[in-house]
Structure 1
Amino acid sequence: MTVLVSTADGRRLAVEERGAPEGSPVFLLHGTPGSRLGPAPRPQVLYHLGVRLITFDRPGYGRSDRLKGRAIASIAADVATIADDLGIERFAVVGRSGGAPHALACGALLPDRITKVAALVGLAPPKAEGLDWFEGMAASNVREYIIGQGGTGAVAASLAAAAAQIRADPSSKLRLLATEYTATDRRTVADFGIRTMLVDNFSEALRASADGWVDDIVAFRSDWSFDPAGITVPTLVWHGEQDVYSPVGHARWLGRRIPGAILRIDPGIAHFGSIDVLPDVLLWLIREQAY
Structure 2
Amino acid sequence: MRWRYPVIASQKGIYPTILFVFFVGFLAWLYQAIQPSPPKICGTPDGPPVSAPRIMLRDGRHLAYKEHGVSRDIAKYKIVYVHGFDSCRHDVVIASELSPEIVQELGIYIVSFDRPGYGESDPDPKRTVKSIALDIEELADKLELGSKFYVVGFSMGGQVIWSCLKYIPDRLAGATLVAPAVNYWWPGFPANLSKEAYSQQFVQDQWTLRVAHYTPWLTYWWNTQKWFPASSVVAHSTAILSRQDLELMPRHSKRKSYAAQVRQQGEFESLHRDLMIGFGTWEFDPMDLENPFPNNEGSVHLWHGDEDGLVPVLLQRYIAQRLPWIHYHEIAGAGHLFPYAEGMVDAIVKSLLTRDV
Q: Aligning the two structures, in what range does the TM-score lie when normalised by the shorter sequence?
A: 0.7 to 0.9
Tell me the residue number matched to 1:108.
166
In structure 2, how many angstroms separate the alpha carbons of the residues matched to 1:268 and 1:224?
32
Secondary structure of 2:198's aligned partner? coil
* CA separation of 1:38 and 1:139: change in aligned 2, threshold 3 A: farther
Verify the 8 A CA contact 1:5 1:13 in the aligned structure 2: yes
CA shift for structure 1 position 248: 0.5
**CA offset digits 1:198-250 (Å, max 9, x no partner):** x3464222012111111110112222323323242321111100011011122
Name which of 253, 258, 264 aligns with 1:195.
253
* CA separation of 1:147 and 1:175: change in aligned 2, threshold 3 A: closer
Pairs within 5 Å for 1:1-291: 2-21=52-71, 22-23=74-75, 24-40=77-93, 41-42=95-96, 45=100, 46-47=103-104, 49-89=106-146, 90-125=148-183, 126-127=185-186, 128-130=188-190, 131-132=193-194, 133-160=197-224, 176-191=236-251, 194-197=252-255, 199-200=256-257, 202-210=259-267, 211-228=269-286, 229-233=288-292, 234-276=299-341, 277-290=344-357
Verify the 8 A CA contact 1:147 1:154 in the aligned structure 2: yes
Secondary structure of 2:116's aligned partner? coil
Verify the 8 A CA contact 1:231 1:259 in the aligned structure 2: no
CA shift for structure 1 position 119: 0.9
Secondary structure of 1:283's aligned partner? helix
Secondary structure of 1:190's aligned partner? helix
> Which amino acid in the other structure matches residue 279 of structure 2?
R
* CA separation of 1:263 and 1:78: change in aligned 2, threshold 3 A: same
In structure 2, how many angstroms separate the alpha carbons of the residues matched to 1:254 and 1:121?
13
CA shift for structure 1 position 179: 2.4
How large is the RMSD of aligned CA atoms in angstroms?
2.5
Tell me the residue number matched to 1:169.
none
**CA offset digits 1:102-154 (Å, max 9, x no partner):** 01211222121101111111133322421315142344532321221244432
In structure 1, how many angstroms separate the alpha carbons of the residues matched to 2:166 and 2:90?
26
In structure 1, how many angstroms separate the alpha carbons of the residues matched to 2:78 and 2:205?
33
Verify the 8 A CA contact 2:52 2:120 in the aligned structure 1: no
Q: What is the TM-score with the length of structure 2 in the denominator?
A: 0.71
Verify the 8 A CA contact 1:73 1:226 in the aligned structure 2: no
Identity of aligned pairs, percent? 21
Verify the 8 A CA contact 1:29 1:100 in the aligned structure 2: yes
In structure 2, how many angstroms separate the alpha carbons of the residues matched to 1:247 and 1:238?
13
Question: Which segment drifts farther, 124-133 or 232-241?
Answer: 124-133
Verify the 8 A CA contact 1:96 1:274 in the aligned structure 2: no
Q: Which runs of 5+ in 2 are unaligned?
A: 1-50, 227-231, 293-298
Q: Whose relative contact order is higher, 1 or 2, with alpha carbons under 8 Å and at least 6 apart?
A: 1
Secondary structure of 2:162's aligned partner? helix
* CA separation of 1:159 and 1:62: change in aligned 2, threshold 3 A: farther
**CA offset digits 1:172-199 (Å, max 9, x no partner):** 98983312221110011133xx2113x3
> Which amino acid in the other structure matches residue 328 of structure 2?
L
> Which amino acid in the other structure matches residue 241 of structure 1?
D
CA shift for structure 1 position 53: 0.8
* CA separation of 1:272 and 1:115: change in aligned 2, threshold 3 A: same
Verify the 8 A CA contact 1:37 1:200 in the aligned structure 2: no
**CA offset digits 1:72-103 (Å, max 9, x no partner):** 22211000100000111211111111111101
Verify the 8 A CA contact 2:81 2:92 in the aligned structure 1: no
Verify the 8 A CA contact 1:73 1:224 in the aligned structure 2: no
In structure 2, how many angstroms separate the alpha carbons of the residues matched to 1:282 and 1:120?
11
Verify the 8 A CA contact 2:86 2:234 in the aligned structure 1: no
| Structure having the higher Rg | 2
**CA offset digits 1:263-284 (Å, max 9, x no partner):** 1111210101133323321222
